[in-house]
Amino acid sequence: MNDKKNNEKKNGKPSEHRRRQAPAGAERAPAKPGLEVRATAAKLLAAVIDKKISLDGMLDLTHGNPAYKALNDADRGLARAILTTALRHLPRLEAAIASLIDTPLPEGARALQHVLIVAAAQILHLDVPSHAAVDLAVEQANRDPRNRRFAKLVNAVLRRMVREKDEILAATASVSPVPDWFRKRLAAAYGAEEAERIAEAQLVPAAIDMTVKSDPKAWAERLGGKVLPTGSIRLAAFEGSVTGLEGFDQGEWWIQDAAAAIPAKLFGDISGKRIADLCAAPGGKTAQLIAAGAKVTAVEQSSNRLARLKENLGRLGLEAELVGGDLFDFQPDEPLDGILLDAPCSSTGTTRRHPDVLWTKGPEDIGKLAVLQERMLRHALTLVKPGGIVVFSNCSLDPIEGEKLVAKIIGDTKNVSRVPVDPKDWPGLESAITELGEFRTTPAMLPGDDKFVGGMDGFFASVLRFG
Ligand SMILES: C[S@@+](CC[C@H](N)C(=O)[O-])C[C@H]1O[C@@H](n2cnc3c(N)ncnc32)[C@H](O)[C@@H]1O
């Protein structure tokens, strides 16, 4: 007798496999419309929070989560909105739920907590009928044998949340919207007040910024955008896809956050110079370097991302030498004029766009990434000729991946010095340039107005000269 049958005999229950084969006539009632999308959102939320799985990967239409891929377009949009909203506001949503429950949920009721968070994100922040959010959460609880006994509680808690929405929002506004470990690191680096401003800024979804090949003013007029101090264009909020906008098919512009556009501009005049972009994909900065007239070698380790870079450059009609592989194996024929090292980092500056980052990464990741970046930067410095420039950048807000790392390398490496950025060259961004002449942007910079969302990614960039 095989093991499965043995087990059945022992405990008198059919095996998991046989139990799943429900007898005829015992099928479940068909799922209510809208249930699948909420159930998928709760599942993916659990994967982010409990298993530290990146949201971008799960929402990828080729390799992503099967339940998400199976949704229709509109439901995928709703699932994405629920998930990003839930992750942006997570500590406040948890506080709101806790304030409505007398005794904390048992540890085994994690799945129920995710159902409640998905419903709370809709009730408190999304333009979704509240009664649907409540009913579907109750239905989710009812359909899960572990949570069925809590269905009445879910109903009571969420109905009260609908009734007392304004009071709950006001009462939870003082809760920091970021995890404690991150709030502490921000406060240590920027002071408590600025840390709070940065944490609040990450609640606002990022604007759409683009870099144009030329004539930002004319393109801003055409697209109804405005020119930012970085020379980028910021679009006013609009419905639809950017690929339908004028100039996309002609390759006149590419999407790039205003802060991400800064590092490539720090080389100055690079016309005809040989520059390697060592961490190149998806290629926003490679494109800037080519458009500025440099002869660019783009190095990228990930073959999928290299393919994306190639496709992006193809649309833009820009050419670079593409090298697939590890930057540590990259040796140019002769020393280069410049290197851009936009290193892999904790990405804590991009939480407006990727709110899962703060829940999937932690201090130990930041430490490990800082070690890798240091090795990368030391290697990059060996590839330029005397007088050559290395621009080091990343989208982390943490000084150990930025200011402290550069200070350490300058402190212990011969012939390496900082080339300070002059605030006079960056009108409107003076506050983003540190005393040492490095760029440090945060999501709390570039205030918004009636028409345009404010903020920019958190970025660090430093210009180093060798020799
Ligand atoms: C922050 S992203 C670069 C973004 C890019 N500079 C842009 O502006 O579009 C970092 C990139 O470095 C690549 N990367 C990571 N480790 C690498 C290595 N050892 N050698 C080459 N590329 C690497 C990653 O695959 C990723 O595409």
pLDDT digits (tens, 9 = 90+) for 337-360: 999 999 999 999 999 999 999 999
Q: Tell me how far apart the alpha carbons of residues 397 and 346 are, in angstroms, rounded to a whole number.
A: 9
Q: What's 268's DSSP letter?
A: -
Does any ligand 1 atom lie closer than 6 A to the CB of residue 299?
yes
User: pLDDT value at position 108?
Assistant: 79
Query: Which protein residue's CA is at the shortest distance from atom 13 of ligand 1?
Result: 279
User: pLDDT value at position 106?
Assistant: 83
The one-letter code for the residue type at 462 is S
Any known ligand binding at 285?
yes
Does any ligand 1 atom lie closer than 6 A to the CB of residue 344?
yes
Task: Categorize the per-residue pLDDT at 27 as very low, low, confident or very high, splitting at 50, 70 and 90.
Answer: low
Residue 466 pLDDT > 70: yes
Q: What's 348's DSSP letter?
A: G
Which numeric CATH code is attached to 28-172? 1.10.940.10
Give the residue among 177, 183, 232 at the shortest CA–CA distance from 455.
232
CA of 300 to the centre of ligand 1 (A): 6
Residue 460 pLDDT > 80: yes
Residue 386 pLDDT > 70: yes
Does any ligand 1 atom lie closer than 6 A to the CB of residue 327?
yes
pLDDT, one tens digit per residue, over 320-342 is 999 999 999 999 999 999 999 99
pLDDT, one tens digit per residue, over 47-75 is 999 999 999 999 999 999 999 999 999 99
User: pLDDT value at position 237?
Assistant: 86
Query: Which protein residue's CA is at the shortest distance from atom 6 of ligand 1?
Result: 280
pLDDT, one tens digit per residue, over 276-314 is 999 999 999 999 999 999 999 999 999 999 999 999 999
pLDDT, one tens digit per residue, over 234-250 is 999 888 889 999 999 99
Q: Tell me how far apart the alpha carbons of residues 463 and 467 are, in angstroms, rounded to a whole number.
A: 13
Pairing state of beta strands 416-418 and 384-394? unpaired
Helix (H) or strand (E) segment spanning residue 368:
helix 363-381
User: pLDDT value at position 16?
Assistant: 40
Establish whether 345 is a catalytic residue.
no
Query: Which protein residue's CA is at the shortest distance from atom 2 of ligand 1?
Result: 344
Which one from 395, 409, 429, 444 is the annotated catalytic residue?
395
User: pLDDT value at position 287?
Assistant: 98
Half-sphere exposure for 377 (CA within 13 Å, toward CB) = 35
CATH domain 209-466 topology: Rossmann fold (3.40.50)
Cβ neighbour number for residue 190 with a 10 Å cutoff: 18
CA of 385 to the centre of ligand 1 (A): 23
CA distances from 414 to 371, 375, 384, 408, 411 (A): 20, 16, 14, 12, 8
User: pLDDT value at position 12?
Assistant: 38
Pairing state of beta strands 336-342 and 384-394? parallel
Bridge partners, residue 206, by sequence? none
Any known ligand binding at 284?
yes
CA of 266 to the centre of ligand 1 (A): 19
Q: Tell me how far apart the alpha carbons of residues 276 and 322 are, in angstroms, rounded to a whole number.
A: 10
Does any ligand 1 atom lie closer than 6 A to the CB of residue 279?
yes
Task: Categorize the per-residue pLDDT at 433 as very low, low, confident or very high, splitting at 50, 70 and 90.
Answer: very high
Q: Tell me how far apart the alpha carbons of residues 115 and 45 are, in angstroms, rounded to a whole number.
A: 9
For residues 134 and 160, the answer to whether their CB atoms sit within 8 Å is no
The two tokens of residue 344 are 């892999």
| pTM for this predicted structure | 0.91
Map out the domains of the chain as residue ranges: 28-172, 209-466
User: pLDDT value at position 10?
Assistant: 40
User: pLDDT value at position 370?
Assistant: 98
pLDDT, one tens digit per residue, over 392-417 is 999 999 999 999 999 999 999 999 99
User: pLDDT value at position 35?
Assistant: 96
Q: Which residues of 344-365 are buried (b: 16+ CB within 10 A; e: fewer)?
A: ebbbbbbbbbbbbbbbbbeeeb
Task: Categorize the per-residue pLDDT at 28 as very low, low, confident or very high, splitting at 50, 70 and 90.
Answer: low
Pocket test for ligand 1, best of 277, 301, 377 (most atoms within 8 A of CB): 301
| SS3 assignment, position 338 | strand
Q: What's 30's DSSP letter?
A: P
Task: Categorize the per-residue pLDDT at 17 as very low, low, confident or very high, splitting at 50, 70 and 90.
Answer: very low
Does any ligand 1 atom lie closer than 6 A to the CB of residue 284?
yes
Residues 6+ apart with CB under 8 A from 281: 298, 300, 302, 305, 306, 308, 309
Any known ligand binding at 326?
yes
Residue 3 pLDDT > 60: no
User: pLDDT value at position 445?
Assistant: 98
Torsion angle of alpha carbons 99, 121, 68, 244, nearest 10°? -170
Does any ligand 1 atom lie closer than 6 A to the CB of residue 342?
yes
Residue 432 pLDDT > 80: yes
User: pLDDT value at position 107?
Assistant: 80
